[in-house]
Amino acid sequence: MALKQKQIYCRPDLCIGCRICANACALTHEGAANPRLGRINIRQNLFERYEFQELCRHCDDPPCLDACMVGCIEKDEDTGIVTNDDRCVGCWMCVMVCPYGSMRRDLIKQIAVKCDQCKDKDGPVCVNVCPTGALVFEEREDLPEEPFISGPSVT
């Protein structure tokens, strides 16, 4: 039985590509500014016009958890949040198996880093800082029927 869980969703029509979400994520988790260090990555490549969100979905049956050889990835039974800790040895197996490309390598610390939905804080910081309300943190019933590109737009 899949656990119903709050997730971070992006409504692309509202996203303006400012990267504030990723920058705030980096400041929260790394203490320094640079959207590249954030766990969330949404770009609007202006010329190619593609929009893509790289972010952990906290899978029901996380492939990263199975792949981790030191067992440092856990899925919380109550909240469903998948986290990793610093016992990570940087083998990058989790990076390879993640179907969403959302496991990021920290090449300086040589550990994998991922979104923890800011579990110790008052909601995910990326959602809190989004200037247009493009990012939402909510429980969705049936994803396939929810049109991904929908709702209000900034145009």
Among 5, 6, 9, 13, binds another protein (CB under 8 A): 13
Distance CA 55, CA 78 (A): 21
Q: Does 21 bind another protein (CB under 8 A)?
A: no
Q: Give the x/- contact pattern for another protein in 96-135, rule: CB under 8 A.
A: -----------xx----------------x--xx-xx---
**In whole angstroms, what is the distance from residue 126 CA to residue 137 CA?**
10
Is residue 70 within 8 Å of 90, Cβ to Cβ? no
**The pair of three-digit structure tokens given for residue 73, joined into one six-digit string:** 């990835």
Residues 26-85 that bind another protein (CB under 8 A): 26-28, 30-34, 36-37, 43-49
- C-alpha–C-alpha distance, residues 39 and 36, integer Å: 8
Q: Closer CB to another protein, residue 94 or residue 134?
A: 134
Return d(Cα 155, Cα 147) in angstroms, integer: 19
Task: Enumerate binding residues for another protein (CB under 8 A).
Answer: 13, 16-20, 23-24, 26-28, 30-34, 36-37, 43-49, 107-108, 125, 128-129, 131-132, 153-155
